[in-house]
Amino acid sequence: MYLDLKADDEDGVVSTSIHYHDVIIIGGGLTGLRAALQVSDSGLNGAIVSKVHPLRSHSVAAQGGMNASLGNVPGEDGTSDSWEMHAYDTVKGSDYLADQDAVERMCREATATVYELEHMGTVWSRLENGKIAQRPFGGAGFPRTCYAADRTGHNALHTLYEQVLDRNIPVYEEFFVTSLVKDSGRCIGCTAIEIMTGKIHGFISKVVLMATGGFGRIFNRSTNALINTGDGQALALDLGVPLKDMEFVQFHPTTLYGTNILMSEGARGEGGILINSRGERFMKRYAPNSMDLAPRDVVARSIEQEIREGRGYDGGYIHLDLTHLGADRIKERLPGIRQIAMDFANVDPINDPVPVQPGQHYSMGGIDVEINGGTIFPGLYAAGECACISVHGANRLGGNSLLETVVYGRLVADKIIKDIKELSEPDSQHMKSAVKAVESKIEEILGRREGASIFKVRENMAETMFQKFGIFRDGQIMEEGLKEIKKMQEKLSHLTPNNKDLAVNQTLIQFLELEGMLKIAEVVACGAIKREESRGSHTRIDYPDRDDDNYLKHTLAVLKEGSIDLSYKSVILGMFEPKERVY
């Protein structure tokens, strides 16, 4: 249903578009698309709202693959993989902070999910016997990562988008969501700016599903797309929904030096090795059993330590060497990696090693949800990287993120389909008021006089986050960083974009993104400072040991009277008891 409220509307809302759907899905990546398909197939009226065209979502950049215990490639001892072994590797890799009921569910669903994508049209790479190919990934006891060369996310995203087009599911593309709207403790939709016109729209729904991805762009060295600004997490925080485990930020070991474009873990899965400036295969010092295929937190710390101790190359990088794999294998299995290296580093991996350094890659934390994706607010759900369900705990294994997006995109949609029957029609009056409030906010921002560059603030924030909340963390340094973030928040509250137009005002959109990013940066900072231990991706040089007695628990952060308030809740165990990780 589509309703236009004109200038003579009795409430005074000027030329505002109000749209009604049963379900609004915010985000057009793999999670959002898969959820939209499930909602549509159930007969509900669902729609996707995305700030970019779905094929520009960050899911398209996922290279390496999707984990599933198909057992198409046996382990080193000839044994076959199982969902239980997949779950064990996931929990162990998470440094035991993952909720094991959610992990079990994901790993049990993995095989069917890979086959489902194949039947929809995803073209997986194949073994000589015709079965779906699988390769080793870090922290995995078996070669279980299914892949489509090194463009797995690209293939899967195009597949799901084709299915969305086939079903004629509405997609509001290039709409930036500005607020979640609530009525009597229930989420009833959202407001959004139509970027091309600057018009504020209202989206009324019984249910909202957040599927907005990560927040990697709060760091200055990141593999994330420019759109990964934590919009969903910031919207949830403003609504009063807790964010969970936000201090756990993954740094990928191998990003291209100078640009931080991802160099897939698949490169090491195919046999690539890491070499320092002395020509040493240094991972034998840090993970003698798994070497270059240790979990990402282990490899990233090892590379950073090599660089800090003077065994990196000038400028701060080491080498990823693929030359021994041979031209045919590189061209077949890693064509995208080769092209990126040639285009952006003027290096052909067939002949020369690739310069790499760690960079921010993934957000283990996110919107606090229970196993079915529900939040504390009826009508609001979340899934994918923007949510913390929590299947990744303190460190995500490569190949589990694509899996999570599609598995929980479908499962959370199933929960929505069930729950929506109990929800009444929302009141449109609250949406009209919310739209007017956003219009007033935009008017106030554009009416400010202080026109200093907001991009300098964003640059300072990203530099502060990487330098003071990066791979290695220290309490005193982080306290300094938090003070800097608070100063940036205060400064931004007085600034205004230089562009005062409403239509196609990307500076305004980036201003609104930055407001949310600074909130997310504060949450990450507060959680990292309070967690006085080292676990997974969170490495404190002043607290180097894991502390299960005090910190085997999730961090919850809420916004109270303008400040971040922290609390904790227990991790769900069950299958595997915490023990020391050895690699």
- As a whole number of angstroms, the distance between CA 552 and CA 134 comes to 33
Instruction: Determine the pLDDT at residue 500.
Output: 92
Instruction: Determine the pLDDT at residue 184.
Output: 87
Q: pLDDT class for 12, splitting at 50, 70, 90? A: very low
What Rg do the C-alpha atoms of the chain give, in angstroms?
Answer: 23
Q: What is the total residue count of the chain?
A: 583
User: Is residue 499 scored above 50 in pLDDT?
Assistant: yes
Instruction: Determine the pLDDT at residue 450.
Output: 73
- As a whole number of angstroms, the distance between CA 385 and CA 229 comes to 12
Q: With respect to CATH, is domain 249-361 assigned 3.90.700.10? A: yes
Instruction: Determine the pLDDT at residue 561.
Output: 86
Q: pLDDT class for 213, splitting at 50, 70, 90? A: very high
Instruction: Determine the pLDDT at residue 16.
Output: 56
Active site residue 296: yes
Q: What does the pLDDT look like over 56-106, one tens digit per residue? A: 999 999 999 999 999 999 988 888 999 999 999 999 999 999 999 999 999
Cα-based torsion angle of the residue sequence 143, 147, 151, 154 in order, rounded to the nearest 10 degrees: -130
Q: Looking at residues 487-498, what average pLDDT do you find?
A: 93
CA distances from 549 to 3, 211, 341, 474, 578 (A): 56, 34, 45, 21, 11
Q: What does the pLDDT look like over 131-143, one tens digit per residue? A: 999 999 999 999 9
% pLDDT > 70, the chain: 97
pLDDT, greater one: 424 or 344 = 344
Q: Looking at residues 99-116, what average pLDDT do you find?
A: 98
Q: Looking at residues 118-123, what average pLDDT do you find?
A: 96
Q: What is the DSSP letter of 216?
A: G
Q: What does the pLDDT look like over 223-242, one tens digit per residue? A: 999 999 999 999 999 999 99
User: Is residue 11 scored above 90 in pLDDT?
Assistant: no
Q: Where are the beta strands (DSSP E) in 221-344?
A: 243-244, 249-256, 273-275, 318-321
- As a whole number of angstroms, the distance between CA 322 and CA 329 comes to 10
Q: Looking at residues 146-172, what average pLDDT do you find?
A: 97
Q: Which residue in 340, 312, 331 sits closest to 270, CA to CA? A: 331
Instruction: Determine the pLDDT at residue 451.
Output: 67
Domain definitions of the chain by residue range:
2-248+364-428, 249-361
Instruction: Determine the pLDDT at residue 428.
Output: 85
User: Is residue 529 scored above 50 in pLDDT?
Assistant: yes
3-state secondary structure of 354: strand
- Prediction pTM value: 0.95
Q: Name residue, tokens 């009444």.
A: 424
User: Is residue 14 scored above 90 in pLDDT?
Assistant: no
Q: Say which of 296, 396, 458, 540 is annotated catalytic.
A: 296
What is the average pLDDT value for the chain, to the nearest integer? 94
Instruction: Determine the pLDDT at residue 309.
Output: 96
Q: What does the pLDDT look like over 282-333, one tens digit per residue? A: 999 999 999 999 999 999 999 999 999 999 999 999 999 999 999 999 999 9
Instruction: Determine the pLDDT at residue 75.
Output: 85
Alpha helices (runs of H) in 501-541, residue ranges in sequence order: 506-530
Q: Classify burial at 346, counting beta carbons within 10 Å of its beta carbon; exposed 0-12, middle 13-18, buried 19 or more.
A: exposed
User: Is residue 415 scored above 90 in pLDDT?
Assistant: yes
What's the CATH fold of domain 2-248+364-428?
Answer: FAD/NAD(P)-binding domain (3.50.50)
